[in-house]
Chain A
């Protein structure tokens, strides 16, 4: 009965490769997000989708391409991986309209680029 799940949990790959991370939520939320947390634990939003529509696209290289096939899924594809992409990537979901906009985070995907 996991609320927000993402796969894989760990991803180790070489520079220049292309990889994808998948995320699914079973909370019935309309909004999903991708966050990046760097080695200093700074948590920064990358993208936000509401009902499959992109609503937030922060300053992220266009090597990163999110895709939402339906409102329960938000995947992240990364092309031409670079060393600086090494980080933990968190998927999250929330229900708009609630004042606190509580974010429910997935377990994270630790990406290591060699």
Chain B
């Protein structure tokens, strides 16, 4: 089976940078994804790492180290609207379902 660990809560100041870590244990590995979910909303896809390294999409970046079974989501120039829950998710094989971590609740404060 798979298991993922991510911090339950993070608080950061508007304009700052925050990193949300995710460590995983899987029998195989088919990529690490990140999803954002605002209160009362649906999860939405943010980024995907299939290979080691950094993927950048605007203010958000995601990093993966397969040898360390570790990844992180980096949010820069934090805005109040970034307050949400962030989930990492993995698949251990091509046809298996995504397994989500328990989510990290990010609170951005002024």
| Chain A contact residues, CB within 8 Å of chain B | 33, 40-45, 48, 55-56, 58, 90, 96, 99-108
Contact = CB atoms under 8 A, between A and B. Distances in A.
Interface residues of B, number: 24
Contact of B97 (A40, A48, A100, A102): A48
A108 B44 CA distance: 12
Contacts, number: 55
Interface of B: 30-31, 33, 35, 37, 41-45, 48, 50, 85, 87, 91, 95-100, 102-103, 105
A56 B98 CA distance: 11
B46 to A, nearest CB: 10
A40 B98 CA distance: 19
**Interface on chain A toward B: helix, strand, loop, or mixed SS?**
loop
B48 A41 contact: no
A82 B96 CA distance: 29
A103 B45 contact: yes
Contact of B98 (A41, A45, A99, A107): A45
A105 B100 CA distance: 14
Given A41-B85, A43-B87, A43-B100, A99 B95 contact: no
Contacts of B98: 45, 101, 103
B97 A43 contact: no
